Amino acid sequence: MDNLSKQLIDYFISILGESNVLVNEPMKNHTTFQIGGPADCFLQVSNLEQLQVILKCIKQTEYEFMILGNGSNVLVSDQGYEGIVLALTGEFKDLQVSGNDICAGAGATLKEVANYALSNSLTGFEFAAGIPGTVGGGVLMNAGAYGGEMCHVVKSVTVINFDGEVFHMSKDEMEFGYRKSAVMRRPFLILSVVFELSVGVKEEILDKITNLNQQRKDKQPLEYPSAGSTFKRPKDYYAGKLIMDSGLRGFRVGGAMISEKHCGFVINYDNASAQDVSDLMTQVCDKVEDCFGVRLEPEVIRIGRF
C-alpha cells in the first residue's frame, strides 16, 4: 500500500467490498507462469456500474492501471506492478445464447465458451477450447490455434473507454490482424463479445474438441507453468523450429527453460524468476537472429520493470 493512500483503498472497499480489494497482491497467484511480484492493488470488479466508478476514480488519481484476464500471456516483473490491476468477475463472466450467437463476458474463459457452445450444439469455436485465456484477452490479441482465430468468429465487441462510456464495435472496426486488434491501439477495455457460430452436431463438436486437446497435450509442455506460445510466428517461418534449429532445445537461464517438448514454449522449469524468463527470451532472440537472420518477436507481454 506504499503507493496508494489508505483513503483510496477504503474507497475501493466501499465500492467492491473488502474481499475484492487485495493490497500488495502477489501476481504469481494470477499468472499462468506462476511468476510475478506484488501489485499495489488488485481489484475484483463484478459489474459495469462498479467498473465505471473505479475507472473514473483511477482517472482522477492518475494511477497506472491494467486489466488482467487469465494471466496467460504476461510476464510480471519480480518487483511487481506499481499500479492497480483490474480483474473482471461476476457478470463479466456471463454467457448467453441467441440463435447461433453467443454473447460472452470478457472475464469468461475461452474454454468455458467452447463448452457452452458444445452444450448448445454450436460449432466453430472448437479451436479455442484449449487456449488458456479469457474472452477479453483472446479477442484483444486475436488469439488463435489449429487454423482458427478470434476474427473468424467475432461478430461484434462491446468496449468501455477510460471515461466510463460504452461503445459497440463491429468486426470490421476491430481491424483484426495477426495477434492484434484496434483495441490494442485505443484506450478501451473489452466488456463482452458476440461470437457468430453455426449449428452443428454435438457428438462431432465434442470429438473435435477432444482431438485438439489431445494434440495439445501430446505436443505442448502443459505439465509446466508457462504463458503458452512465447513468440509470434515470423513470416514464412515457425518460431519453434527456428529455436530448435539454433540448438536451443532445453536451453536454460536460471529456472527458465526452452521446453524440450516444444521449443516454442518457455517454461517455468524450476522456480524461475521473471528476470530468468526475460533474459532467456532475449538470448533466444539473439541466437536465432545470429543463426538465421530472423528476429523473433515475443508474444508474451512484459509488465513492470525489467
- Give helix then strand counts, H and E, for the chain: 7, 18
Contact between 81 and 30 (Cβ < 8 Å)? no
Reply yes or no on whether the pLDDT at 1 is more than 50. Answer: no
pLDDT tens digits for 12-68? Answer: 999 999 999 999 999 999 999 999 999 999 999 999 999 999 999 999 998 999 999
Lookup: cell for 102:
453467443
Contact between 8 and 61 (Cβ < 8 Å)? yes
Which of 229, 259, 273, 278 is the catalytic position? 229
pLDDT tens digits for 143-200? Answer: 999 999 999 999 999 999 999 999 999 999 999 999 999 999 999 999 999 999 999 9
Which of 25, 126, 149, 299 is the catalytic position? 299
SS3 call for 46: coil
Which of 72, 149, 179, 181 is the catalytic position? 179
pLDDT of residue 4: 81
Residue 67's beta-bridge partner residues? 86
Contact between 92 and 106 (Cβ < 8 Å)? yes
Domains in the chain with CATH codes: 6-90 (3.30.43.10), 94-218 (3.30.465.10), 223-303 (3.90.78.10)
Catalytic annotation on 299? yes
Tell me the average pLDDT across 220-249. Answer: 96
Q: How far apart are CA 115 and CA 84, in angstroms?
A: 32
Contact between 83 and 65 (Cβ < 8 Å)? yes
pTM of the model: 0.92
Reply yes or no on whether the pLDDT at 3 is more than 80. Answer: no
pLDDT tens digits for 245-297? Answer: 999 999 999 999 999 999 999 999 999 999 999 999 999 999 999 999 999 99
Reply yes or no on whether the pLDDT at 8 is more than 60. Answer: yes
pLDDT of residue 2: 53
Give the 3-state secondary structure percentages of the chain, helix then strand then coil, rounded to 5.
35, 30, 35
Contact between 37 and 80 (Cβ < 8 Å)? yes
